[in-house]
Amino acid sequence: MRCPVCGFQDDKVIDSRVIKEGFGVRRRRECLACSHRFSTYESIIQSELKVVKRNNEREDFDADKLRKGVQNACYKRPIDPEDINRLIEDVSQGVQRDFEREVPSSEIGSRVMQSLRKLDQVAYVRFASVYRKFHDVEEFIDEIRSLQ
């Protein structure tokens, strides 16, 4: 690992901690040349899962993109960040477990919507309005009525 300050390639690991419920490791390192301390993160890279979009384009599965969508839906809602992290981990691990090479974007959206519906109904409606691309107010109202 190259030091971010001086570029020296040798360092020593000072501390290692398990993160992401055992699916990653955070390492605290110290450069042997300049003694600068920095952190690195290691995680398992799953198989190259592709997402098949509505227009049949394929792109790499990106948990960060999933996170942005969920965080936008949960913006200014009284939701614990750990609940959001758990939702993202559950959906990510679920699609990687259930699909070998390709997963339809509709499946990911459906799983997120199921989880958000249990977590926070307002966040669910926000996500659904973007995901389902409601064409008019009536579709939006129908979705809200389905929550009752």
CA 87 distance to own-chain centroid: 8
The mean pLDDT of the chain is 90
Give yes or no for residue 62 having a pLDDT over 70.
yes
pTM of the model: 0.66
| Tokens found for residue 55 | 């227009």
| pLDDT value for 46 | 61
Pairwise CA distance, residues 131 & 133, whole Å: 6
Residue type, 146: S
**pLDDT tens string 101-136:** 999 999 999 999 999 999 999 999 899 888 777 777
| pLDDT value for 45 | 66
CA 11 distance to own-chain centroid: 30
Describe the crossing of helices 105-119 and 121-131 by its angle, rounded to 10 degrees.
160
Closest CA to 90 of 73, 66, 122, 125: 66
**pLDDT tens string 64-81:** 999 999 999 999 999 999
